[in-house]
Amino acid sequence: MSVPILRELDNRFLPYKDGVPSAYGWTLFLGFLVFLTTQSIQYSDTDLWYHIHGGRYLFEQGTFYNPLVDSFLDAEERDSVVYFWGFQALVYLVWSQTGEFGLVLLKAIGLFLAGFFAMKVVLQNRPLNDATFLQLVVITAVVGMLAARGFSLRPHVVSYIMIPVFTYILGNREKAYPVLPVLTVLWVNLHGVEYVVGALICGAFFLARLVNWLEEGRPQQGVMSMVWIASCAPAMLINPFGVHLITTPFLHSPDLHLFIGELRKYELELIFDFEDGLSFNATLLTLMGLAAYAALVCLGNARKHIAALILAAGALILLLRAQRFVWEWVFLTLPLISAALSQEKSIKHNVLTSMTLALMLVGLTKLFWPNVIQGLNYYPYDENSLPNGTTEFIRSQGITGRYAIEPSYAGYVEFMLSPDVKVHMDMQFPPFTSHDFHPIAAAMVSAAGFRSYVERFKPDMFGARRKDRTFPDSVAKEMGYLPVFFDREVVLFLGTHSYPDLARRFELTAVDPFDPRKFKADEIGKAIQELQRMRQIIDVPEIKQTLLNLLVTVGDLTAARVLRDELLIEDPHHPSTLFLSARLDHLSGNCAAAVPNYQKSIAATDDDVKPLRSLLAECLFVLKDLAAAYEQFGLAMNPYGDTNPDKLQYYQYALTAIGVGKNDKAKRLLAMLETIDPEGEYAERIESVRTALD
């Protein structure tokens, strides 16, 4: 776009430029709110479940929840500070009174407030309409990063609110200082482990105030401000555990970063990826670049920016400790970025800057829109993301005892089956340690680990992650643990030494619970019987999908349609439901109905979609949409690396190539078909097509 054209556009844009900040800000935060309120609660997050369970335990037992009471570990008494007891009470009250929808709103309100006060810090209490271009860029980046954290409800949401609230009040609202001790009490009882961040904020601003007070000759009017800030220290001790809270951030078990992803060291990736929208890494790098620039600007007048520089330094230390602190880094660095931007000559709002802001908004929308659709598909929560089938099996059969389930699912099991069923551990560190975690982790991935675990703990049942094919199931069967049930998340193995009759009655012999789509042809009838038996216990979609696949395989399309119709009501958006529905229509000769479900299945799945594209191409070929069929065959097939070539698809691919005018491509495909067709099944057809081409 040439300079004269830009000038002309700027002149026409001039009457509207003053309204850009408000219009953009309102649009950004409205979109943020829509995103947050459409996100179903991530119930597969074990932390949420043990928090709800802890809140219920507090109200029912009148004491704080220690997960050791639901563990079969023979551990010594371990007293730990329940620094999130207030959060547990809050989420349980919300859940018990309003259900999942209340939790959705609680999460949305929390993250929205965090974004709102972050905006206030960036603008330094000025109205949104006065926001500069770079300030709007920073606010957009913060909102994008908060949205990336918007899928789970944990106590950290409280800290994401409190950090910008404290920095906003301390930096801009001196008259509100008396409320700081009250906010401190709330913070330490909702998410007390982050008192160190609050101490960093208060300490930084106290030091800045103290330096100014000394330089100004120790005026009387400056004393009370420092008193109110200092009063946050004793206010921190107003919690059920008193001074014991102080040691909590420093009591982490070693090696947690080896199996908890967010505790790994932060690794900077210098990649700006815009393929899927305004990515998390792009927004983070934008903020890091602005933070580095701000540090250079503010160091030139360090005395004036003591608090902002201290906060940024503390934020960097936190970020270097673990990648989970990236959000704390953002909030703690905002005062520094804000200070630097307020000193620089602002970039005026014009056509180019407005287009840039619009592109950022489009980038965020493109990135998070699929999550909005996914959230609405399972609103307000997706119960099938939980081990609900196996859990219901245990409850319905009256099974009690020791349940060695993956710790990442244990929070849900504690909530549903306590006190009759004890787990190895959940993911609360402390009181649990990495030493507690290792035995069950080893049991889930190795034969030696499994044998050692059984000899040591003698569990009554195992709950293996269904997607984890490293589980030593053959050793489990050898030691008397038989697979009896599965759902979308977990395979349940029941011990014959504890429940011999149940284990043998419900044993799965024809169905592989880890990969039920694979089966022996001579055992399909038995597999169908096993699945029908499971449905009588609890009819979870995963079992229906497996049964539907078998019915389609044996050609019982009438029974398959009945099951398909049930799935389209109960679990209509799952990739397996969509694929099996498409496959059923495909085999029934109804490709017009199959195509849209194939397309939806491809869009929804995270697995290899090439086999789906091949089937979609077949249907498009039948419908004589040769251009679309050719495109899908091209995306699905690589003749030079095809380990299981389908002769019909090669033939159809060649014909679609002719249909789009790619005759040379068609000839190559026909030659390849001859290579994989030694029986000569397609010889006459190949010769006929070649004759027509010549």
pLDDT band at 142 (very low <50, low <70, confident <90, very high): very high
pLDDT of residue 258: 84
Q: In sequence order, which residues have a C-beta less than 8 Å from that of residue 372 and are 6 or more positions away? A: 34, 35, 38, 39
Q: How far apart are CA 670 and CA 685, in angstroms?
A: 10
- Give the model's pLDDT for residue 501: 96
Band the pLDDT of 75: cuts 50, 70, 90. Answer: confident
Q: Residue 61: is it exposed, middle or buried by C-beta count within 10 angstroms (0-12/13-18/19+)? A: exposed
Query: φ, ψ for residue 402 (rounded to 5)?
Result: -95, 125
Q: DSSP alpha helices (H): ranges in 446-590?
A: 447-457, 473-478, 500-505, 524-537, 541-554, 557-570, 575-587
Structure confidence by residue, pLDDT tens digits, 247-284: 998 887 888 888 888 888 888 776 766 667 778 888 89
Name 678's Cβ contacts closer than 8 Å, sequence gap at least 6: none
Q: What would the mean pLDDT of 366-377 be, rounded to a whole number? A: 82
* Residues with Cβ within 8 Å of residue 256, at least 6 apart in sequence: 263, 429, 434
Q: What is the pLDDT of residue 526?
A: 94
Confidence class for position 11, pLDDT limits 50, 70, 90: low
How distant, in Å, are the alpha carbons of 295, 408, 438 from that of 257? Answer: 30, 15, 13
Q: Alpha carbon 149 to chain centroid distance?
A: 8
Does this model's pTM top 0.85? Answer: yes
Instruction: Identify the helix (H) or strand (E) that includes residue 404.
Output: strand 401-405
Q: For the segment 603-621, what is each residue's pLDDT rounded down to a tens digit?
A: 888 788 999 999 999 999 9
Rounded percentage of the chain residues whose pLDDT exceeds 90: 67
Q: How confident is residue 111, by pLDDT bands cut at 50, 70 and 90?
A: very high
pLDDT at residue 14, rounded to an integer: 57
Please determine, for residue 582, whether its predicted confidence score (pLDDT) is greater than 80.
yes
What is the tens place of the pLDDT at every residue in 490-533?
999 999 999 999 999 999 999 999 988 888 878 899 999 999 99
CB distance 349 to 20 below 8 Å = yes
Predicted confidence band of residue 375 (pLDDT cuts 50, 70, 90):
confident
The string of pLDDT tens digits covering residues 618-640 is 999 999 999 999 999 999 998 88
Alpha carbons within 13 angstroms on the beta-carbon side of residue 694 total 6
Predicted local confidence at residue 272, as pLDDT? 66
So what's the pLDDT on residue 124?
A: 92
Mean pLDDT of 528-540: 92
Q: For the structural domain made of 531-607, what CATH number should be given?
A: 1.25.40
On whether the CB atoms of residues 405 and 485 are closer than 8 A, the answer is no
What's the rounded Cα separation, in Å, for the pair 513 and 597? 26
Inter-residue contact 41 to 153 (CB < 8 Å):
yes
Is residue 281 within 8 Å of residue 269, measured between CB atoms?
A: yes
pLDDT at residue 519, rounded to an integer: 80
Give percent above pLDDT 70 in the chain: 96
Choose the weakest-confidence range: 175-189, 337-351, 508-522, 566-580. Answer: 337-351
Write down the mean pLDDT value for the chain.
91
Q: Has residue 12 got a pLDDT over 80?
A: no
pLDDT on residue 270: 67
Residue 334: what pLDDT?
98
Average pLDDT over residues 113-131: 94
> Mean pLDDT throughout 323-329?
94
pLDDT at 7: 62
pLDDT 10s digits, 398-454: 999 999 999 999 999 999 999 999 999 999 988 999 999 999 999 999 999 999 999
Task: Decide which of 162 and 352 is more confident.
Answer: 162
